[in-house]
Amino acid sequence: MPVTINKEVCIGCGACVGGCPVGALTLEDTAVCDEATCIDCGACVGTCPVEAISQ
């Protein structure tokens, strides 16, 4: 399962994008996780200042 990004909480800061080792996260208005690429490692979860990412 890929991570879930709460679009109501995400402020679009981009901090998580560089924290993904496989480049699964991109920034649109909010962060978006590419489900086919995410390996569910959890590295991005702690990078979010507003706890918008859950695993």
Smallest gap from Cβ 24 to ligand SF4, in A, equals 4
3 state SS of 12: coil
Binding interface with ligand SF4 (CB under 6 A): 2-3, 5, 10-16, 19-20, 22, 24-25, 27, 30-31, 33, 38-44, 47-48, 50, 52-53
CB of 33 to ligand SF4, least distance (A): 5
CB of 4 to ligand SF4, least distance (A): 10
Helices (H), the chain: none
Beta strands per DSSP E along 1-55: 4-5, 25-27, 31-33, 53-54
